[in-house]
Structure 1
Amino acid sequence: MVRAAVLPAVGSPLEITEILLPDPGPGQVRVRIAAAGVCHSDLSLSNGTMRVPVPAVLGHEGSGTVVSVGEGVTHVAPGDGVVLNWAPACGACHHCAIGEVWLCAGALRGAAGRHARTADGTELHPGLNVAAFAEETVVAADCVLPAPDGVPLDQAALLGCAVLTGYGAVHHSARVRAGESVVVFGAGGVGLAALQAARIAGASSIVAVDVSPAKEELARRAGATEYVVASDTTAKEVRALTGGHGADVAVECVGRAATIRTAWESTRRGGRTTVVGIGGKDQQVTFNALEIFHWGRTLSGCVYGNSDPAADLPVLAEHVRAGRLDLGALVTERIGLDGIPAAFENMLAGKGGRALVVF
């Protein structure tokens, strides 16, 4: 029996309870969780913005130590530190074949093999494949990657989503070049990672935008050279801070129609807007045909930072070891499983950066 945060139904409060965890079957790995980040995607799963079979154990950004492995698993062994990979590529679909593993058709195919159960025998679904909001979890072998040397195991959890997404949005999707100006909307975990990535890329001006004045210190520590509290005049303020013409690149980490529209308006003519935030299908963003022609801007979506975790984790680890990437700067509170509901409320209120569940 292990303790876990269970979502009994969409829209229901999480229940912290004991669950029955099986031994790993063929191609599975059992992991003792060291830490798990509380991501906005977990909130989106709990409230129905994103779909998840229920009842489920949420949590997809995590790290830990291998307890045991099933038949056929050779790339990790008991005692190894690992980072959870919630979207493993199948390697066989069209997108994998053309190198777009972040768009893999089978990435969220669901975990095969033995599943956890409640005390009364009800099967529990692993939220986004890995079910990290638990003391231990059993996952498919391709959902674990060896933890990089020189990175504290608890902080390594952040590499599994927030940092891969924020760093990838800047380096893979927006392709920020040295000397360009960047504006990042949202100073949560992903936004703070994007700010650090813009600094690493050599951006000349880095503007952070958030609804909370209290996040300015966090944003500046991450690399922001300017800070704007979101308002009806945000686009004008960003343009004024970037030579009057707008930023070369905008990275939207909120997922709301109004913010996406503002990010678009904050970029220069010919600029690039990358949307990282996950919004609901009711969030409609509109543009007229003339402005699309006139401004010549590019608007693109970004899934998981357009990253390949197996290839990008070693790069991120080197940035950490060299002192260029500060994982600790993303974390604003360390909590237990009982603290996850409050962390969700803080997200809704726009408070703090990343909350980290530490076991």
Structure 2
Amino acid sequence: MTVDARIAVLPAGQQKLEIRDVTLDAFGPYEVVVRQKAFGVCHSQLDRIYDLSRTEPMLLGHESIGTVIAVGGQVRYVEPGDEVLITWIPRTPLEGRPPVPSQVTFSEGEVAKTHNTFTWGTHAVVDEQYVVKAPQGTPPDLGSIIGCALMTGAGAVMNSAEVRAGQSVAVWGAGGVGLCAIAGAAILGASPVVAVDVDDDKLKLAQQFGATDVVNAKRTDPVAAIRELTAHEDGTRGVDYAFDCTGIGTNIPVSLAAVRPGIRGAGIRGGADVLVGIPRAPFELDSMDLLNGEKSLLGCVGGSCDPARDFETFVEWTRDGRFDPSALVTDRFTLDELNTAVEALHSGRVRGRAVVEIEG
């Protein structure tokens, strides 16, 4: 079987994507070919785009919704005609066969590679471990962002921290992932849910997703504001959980400072700061705040998610109206506008999540 596709390629040493026509005709035994409906434009991909040390062309993207049109000979999980969700967290990591990263060979012999998957194109060819059958009724807006933004943000709250009703939460960064963390906290019954950002438009959107309070860190000391909002019966102040969705190293000691301390001699440990965004560089912490407050610093990759289990939950949130993916998708583009989408994200003009919709 051959498939004519248009795929975004990031040439080595360049920062602008090229949309190339390619005929896909060689599929591995565990590969799945997906005709795309829509895919998300994730901030983590900017790290690849603006890394000029790259020596090979790359394929990007790791969250999308589409329809299977072909499968390799060893694929048993899906078949042509199935609607699927693509993600970058393996669906079956304990099966013993490591998933194989995707790559595409172009007519001139050039090979473009990935770290795991690619979704930026009309079609994707990915290891079957990176696809999840879409639950019935999954809307395209949800499917386009479930495989990274929703999984990472809401998953951090639900899985990494296991937030319970009545616990207090602060989320640093009200972009796409942060909004999903805010929504997850609100759905799980956290209170208060405090959104921290420097953009009033994003903070306004955060309230739509369940933030009970907002703090503009440009105008207000966020630690002081959060402590004012979170007075506990035991005399401590601060949130039970802070989620740093920015990946900015200087923010991390600040979000840690906003976490409630423990009480020595009473057996009460402090809260936790959860790293959700990817730190771009090493960062420093106030070690005495961490130690004396008996606080915790938790790492979180992909919301600690099990895609096959958790995607069902996220779709259920959408079915019953607790989560509105169309409100999260604030910016829509065509494939030919992908570089415009990347620049909008890089410059901070995307309030929620940018999505590329595939025609046809």
Aligned equivalent of 1:136: 123
Distance 2:253 2:177 in 1: 19
Instruction: Compute the TM-score of the two structures, normalised by the length of structure 1.
Output: 0.88
Deviations 1:271-312 (A, max 9, x none): 1110100022x3322223x33222111111101101111111
- AA aligned to 1:110 is P
- The DSSP-based 3-state class of the residue aligned with 1:183 is strand
- AA aligned to 1:258 is T
Inter-CA distance 322–178: structure 2 relative to 1 (3 Å threshold): same
Aligned equivalent of 2:279: 279
Aligned equivalent of 2:28: 25
Whether the 8 Å CA contact 1:86–1:128 is kept in 2: the answer is no
1:324 to 318, 322, 325: 322
Deviations 1:118-144 (A, max 9, x none): 34221121x342210010121112221
2:93 counterpart of 1:90: yes
Inter-CA distance 198–165: structure 2 relative to 1 (3 Å threshold): same
- Which segments of 5 or more consecutive residues in structure 2 lack a partner in the other structure? 262-269
Instruction: Tell me the matched-pair count.
Output: 340
Higher helix share: 1
Alignment RMSD (CA, Å):
2.1
- AA aligned to 1:212 is D
Aligned equivalent of 1:179: 166
Identity of aligned residues (%): 40
Deviations 1:59-109 (A, max 9, x none): 11111001111212222111110001322143157xxxxxxxxxxx956x5
The alpha-carbon deviation at position 347 of structure 1 amounts to 2.9
- The DSSP-based 3-state class of the residue aligned with 2:38 is strand
The alpha-carbon deviation at position 154 of structure 1 amounts to 4.2
2:147 counterpart of 1:145: no
Aligned equivalent of 1:336: 334
Distance 2:59 2:212 in 1: 39
**Equivalences for residues 1-359 of structure 1 within 5 A:** 1-10=4-13, 12-48=15-51, 54-88=56-90, 89-91=92-94, 106=98, 110-111=101-102, 115-125=103-113, 127-231=114-218, 233-243=221-231, 245-269=237-261, 270-280=270-280, 282-288=281-287, 290-351=288-349, 352-359=351-358
- The DSSP-based 3-state class of the residue aligned with 1:5 is strand
Inter-CA distance 52–319: structure 2 relative to 1 (3 Å threshold): farther
- Which segments of 5 or more consecutive residues in structure 1 lack a partner in the other structure? 94-104
Deviations 1:223-276 (A, max 9, x none): 111111123722112222223811111011011111111110111111111010
- AA aligned to 1:172 is N
Inter-CA distance 85–53: structure 2 relative to 1 (3 Å threshold): farther
The alpha-carbon deviation at position 3 of structure 1 amounts to 1.5
Distance 2:272 2:55 in 1: 36
Deviations 1:42-64 (A, max 9, x none): 11222239x97731110111110
Inter-CA distance 41–334: structure 2 relative to 1 (3 Å threshold): same
Whether the 8 Å CA contact 2:195–2:215 is kept in 1: the answer is yes
Distance 1:118 1:220 in 2: 46
Whether the 8 Å CA contact 1:155–1:328 is kept in 2: the answer is yes
The alpha-carbon deviation at position 332 of structure 1 amounts to 0.5
- AA aligned to 1:292 is L
Aligned equivalent of 1:102: none
- AA aligned to 1:90 is P
Inter-CA distance 31–171: structure 2 relative to 1 (3 Å threshold): same
